[in-house]
Structures are given as C-alpha cells and as structure tokens.
Amino acid sequence: MGYYHPYGSCAGNTVLVDNTPIDYLDFASPVSGWVQKWGWMPQTNGRAKPNASGGVLLLKILKLPARIDAIWDEPGYL
C-alpha cells in the first residue's frame, strides 16, 4: 500500500519520465532531506530522522490567527 491521499490516488495524476534532467529547485524544502513540494509526508530519503523544527514552525503558523485576535481584543489597542 502506498501513501494515503485524502482525495484518492496521487499516482493517477503523476507522470514520471525516466532519464530526464530535473530542476532541483522544484523540490526545494526549508529542511534538508524533506520532499515537501510534492505533498509527500516529510521523510529523510535514507538520512537520519528529520528534526521536529518543521512541525514546531507549522504549529506556530496555525496559532497565529488566535494570537492576532487576542491582540485586537486587548483594551486600548485602537
């Protein structure tokens, strides 16, 4: 069984052509070894396990709207 995708199989929407040059910037990731641009789960591709800093950053981003709302609710802000 391959990677689970909530909208069905990704394989049906992907075309891979062997022995062709690729632009490595298409696969750029803020964390070395992760293949985020394709929507895959973070993995190491044979290297050591990735650290949790990417997850921490995501949690901070998800909490941002609540922090902004709290600032707007502070008395005397406006």
Q: Residues 11-69: pLDDT tens digits?
A: 566 666 677 666 555 555 555 555 544 554 554 455 545 555 555 666 677 788 888 88
Who wins on pLDDT, 76 or 6?
A: 76
Determine contact, residues 42/31, Cβ cutoff 8 Å.
Answer: yes
pTM for this prediction: 0.28
- Closest CA relative to residue 31, chosen from 16, 50, 8: 50
What are 33's two structure tokens? 């070894």
- Count of beta carbons in the 10 Å neighbourhood of residue 18: 4
54 membership: H or E segment, kind and range: helix 53-73
